[in-house]
Structures are given as C-alpha cells and as structure tokens.
Amino acid sequence: MGRDAIADIITSIRNADMNKNGTVRIASTNITENIVKILLQEGFIENVRKHQESNKNFLVSTLRHRRTKKGIYKTVLKRISRPGLRIYSNYKKIPKILGGMGIVILSTSRGIMTDREARLEKMGGEILCYIW
C-alpha cells in the first residue's frame, strides 16, 4: 500500500507548528512541490529550498508564525479527500473557508491550484485540503 504524500505534508507542518519549530523537511515529489509552492504564495511558508541527501531530494521549508495579542496564531491544515474517500467538487460548489480568509487546495486537470484560481478558470476537481 502506498503512502499518502499530502497527509505527510500536512502532518509535518502541523507538528512543526505545534512545537514552534521553524523548519520542516518534506520529501520532494511533484505534488509536494506544487503544494509547497501554493503555501509559499499564500504566505503560510516564508521560504523553501531543495536539499539532497543520499540520492533523495527534500524540500526544507521555513514556517511563518503569525503573532496576535493572545500569542502565536496557529495554522490549521485539514485533509479532506483521502485515498479511501475521494471528494470532488465543481467550481460553483467549492467551499469558502472562513468567508474567503482560508484557502482550499484542489487537484484539477490543469494541475494543483487554490480555490480562487479554480473559480476564475471555472475548473472543478478533487478537494485536497483546507488551510486557514
């Protein structure tokens, strides 16, 4: 049985965020690179660099910790579609997270994109995860 790369990314980022760890090391695949690129564009990650160790490629990401009056604001990542239960949506029914404050990451026929990009291009697809 294969591993769920998207769940691995989400769990790694969530664990590093809870431990207030600044960096996360993620195995590099096409899917993980696209998701990390979206997180970088949306401001959840500060920077990303590629690292090679014994013929395996990794992405080393620095998390962005946002401060509020009560302390550090935690990033919430939630996996929606999983290998045992795929969740699909057309562009009209893509959910808005926190009234548009959060993002939905979708896998479409044109690649992995955010909910805003999918609505602009009128593309539906598999809902991978929610982030807010």
The predicted structure's pLDDT at residue 11: 94
How far apart (Å, rounded) are the C-alpha atoms in residues 115 and 102?
A: 10
Closest to 129 in 3D by CA, of 115, 119, 117, 110: 115
Number of domains composing the chain:
2
Given 48, 69, 90, the domain boundary residue is: 69
Given 15, 41, 69, the domain boundary residue is: 69
Q: Are residues 44 and 83 in the same domain?
A: no
Q: Which domain holds residue 99?
A: 76-131
Given 49, 69, 89, the domain boundary residue is: 69
For the stretch 21-64, pLDDT in tens is: 889 999 999 999 999 999 999 999 999 999 999 999 999 999 98
Mean pLDDT across the chain, nearest whole number? 92
Closest to 75 in 3D by CA, of 83, 84, 66: 66
Closest to 13 in 3D by CA, of 73, 75, 68: 75
pTM of the model: 0.90
Q: Are residues 23 and 65 in the same domain?
A: yes
The predicted structure's pLDDT at residue 67: 67
For the stretch 66-122, pLDDT in tens is: 666 666 677 899 999 999 999 999 999 999 999 999 999 999 999 999 999 999 999
Q: Are residues 85 and 46 in the same domain?
A: no
What are the start-end ranges of the H helices in 23-131?
30-42, 115-121
